[in-house]
């Protein structure tokens, strides 16, 4: 009985410290360039130290386990509006975890160069963080959701793809996936996703990663049994949920007409001779061909739409409360 009380006191102190301040969690991950490097690796990826920031609700009881929302940022790393969502979830009684895949690799942004921190790296990071956080005494491992924006939206979406998920961890499963304006230009030829709910929030005028590609992918996933839905906000550009006017990113690529296939090994194939894009150079060549080569359109727009922003926050709150409580 005495030892039990000591253990309980220890967790109370730990819980108090977690609630009083943000706690930085370090863990081991790796640097797979593509999904193939996880599903059928030809060589072991270099080990990578990664960290994230965990925060628990301030009124949590030492004996309680709460749901968790893991957040994944876009190509420009963490932005103010991302953190506003995380604060909203915290106020709703969820724990939050801000994944720092970029900072862990000393990268500030991947706009115009998506080879430095890839979707594969970030999905692996997400699951490795999940594995650590599942052991936390105040986290309900059966109620862990993942959410992300743009590049991170792709992470939130494809972390549900079963060939990839099962290659990383067969025991843990995200309870829900909420994805904001993700790149949906890659279509797996095996449309096997987990049975957890997925929802995509899209901008009608998004010319960076087109909503149309996501609508097409959702329709095909639904036919294969995935629990997926989407919402398109009218007159909304990429990053419609941020505050501020619409701007142009000069070095960004417009992916409006680009569509690519991914095989069962996780290899994204060029549209030209179906060559696997398994290295940074091959990916650059493949994307150049897909977007029009030297005629590739640059200068996609991004920026806030107040109405879409309000609706996005409202939907997100309802979605997480529905699937995590």
The answer to whether residues 102 and 119 touch, using CB atoms and an 8 Å cutoff, is no
Give the pLDDT band (50/70/90) at residue 4: very low
The 10s digit of each residue's pLDDT in 45-56 is 889 999 999 999
- pLDDT band per the 50, 70, 90 thresholds, residue 292: confident
- Report whether pLDDT(141) > 50: yes
The pLDDT of residue 6 is above 70? no
pLDDT of residue 296: 62
- Among the listed ranges 7-11, 57-61, 102-106, which one has the minimum average pLDDT value? 7-11
Residue 74 C-alpha from the chain's centroid: 8
- Asked if the model's pLDDT at residue 26 lies above 80, the reply is yes
Task: State yes or no: pLDDT of 2 exceeds 80.
Answer: no
Check pLDDT > 70 for residue 235.
Answer: yes
Domain spans of the chain? 2-239+306-324
Which DSSP string do the residues of 7-27 spell out, in sequence order?
Answer: HHHHHHHHHHHHHHS-EEEEE
Task: Look at residues 14, 139, 156 and name the one whose alpha carbon lies nearest to residue 85.
Answer: 156
Burial class (CB in 10 A: 0-12, 13-18, 19+), 159: buried
Q: How confident is the model at residue 88 (pLDDT cuts 50, 70, 90)?
A: very high
Q: Which of 67, 59, 57, 55 is nearest to 139 (CA)?
A: 67
In the predicted model, what is the mean pLDDT of residues 184-208? 96
CA distances from 214 to 124, 203, 218, 305 (A): 23, 11, 6, 20
Q: Which helix (H) or strand (E) holds 140?
A: strand 139-149
- The CA radius of gyration of the chain, in Å to the nearest whole number, is 20
CA angle 196, 187, 316 (to 5 degrees): 40
Worst-scoring range by mean pLDDT, 76-90, 271-285, 309-323? 271-285
CA-to-CA distance for 108 and 111, rounded, in angstroms? 9
Residue 9 has pLDDT above 50, yes or no: no
When mean pLDDT is compared across 77-86, 93-102, 295-304, the lowest value belongs to 295-304
Q: Report whether pLDDT(191) > 70.
A: yes
**Mean pLDDT on 203-232:** 96
| Cut 0.85: pTM above it | yes
What class has domain 2-239+306-324?
alpha beta
Distance CA(151)–CA(217), nearest Å, equals: 17
Question: What does the alpha-carbon distance between residue 323 and residue 318 come to, in Å, rounded to a whole number?
Answer: 9
What would the mean pLDDT of 133-156 be, rounded to a whole number?
97
pLDDT for residue 254: 79
| Cα 308 to the center of its chain, rounded Å | 20
């Amino acid at each position: 009985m005495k030892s039990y009380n000591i253990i309980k006191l220890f967790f109370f102190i730990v819980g108090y410290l977690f609630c009083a301040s943000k706690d930085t969690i370090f863990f081991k991950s790796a640097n797979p360039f593509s999904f193939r490097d996880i599903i059928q690796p030809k060589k072991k990826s270099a080990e990578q130290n990664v960290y994230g920031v965990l925060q628990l609700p301030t009124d949590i009881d030492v004996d309680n386990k709460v749901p968790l929302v893991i957040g994944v940022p876009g190509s420009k790393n963490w932005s103010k509006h991302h953190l506003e969502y995380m604060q909203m979830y915290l106020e709703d009684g969820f724990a939050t975890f801000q994944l720092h895949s970029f900072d862990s690799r000393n990268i500030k942004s991947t706009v115009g160069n998506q080879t430095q921190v890839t979707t594969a790296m970030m999905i692996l990071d997400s699951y490795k963080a999940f594995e650590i956080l599942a052991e936390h005494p105040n986290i309900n491992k059966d109620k862990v959701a993942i959410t992300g924006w743009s590049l991170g939206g792709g992470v939130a979406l494809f972390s549900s793809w079963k060939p990839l998920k099962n290659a990383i961890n067969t025991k843990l499963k995200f309870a829900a996936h909420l994805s904001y304006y993700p790149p949906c230009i890659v279509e797996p030829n095996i449309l096997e996703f987990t049975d957890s709910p997925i929802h995509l929030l899209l901008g009608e005028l998004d010319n960076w990663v087109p909503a149309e590609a996501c609508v097409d992918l959702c329709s095909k996933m639904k036919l294969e049994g995935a629990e997926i839905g989407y919402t398109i906000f009218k007159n909304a550009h990429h990053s419609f949920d941020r505050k501020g006017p619409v701007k142009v990113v000069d070095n960004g690529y417009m992916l409006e007409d680009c569509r690519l296939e991914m095989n069962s090994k996780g290899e994204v194939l060029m549209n030209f001779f179906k060559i696997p894009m398994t290295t940074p150079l091959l990916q650059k060549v493949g994307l150049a061909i897909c977007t029009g080569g030297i005629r590739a359109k640059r200068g996609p727009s991004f920026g806030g739409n107040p109405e879409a922003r309000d609706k996005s926050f409202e939907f997100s709150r309802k979605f997480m409360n529905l699937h995590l409580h």
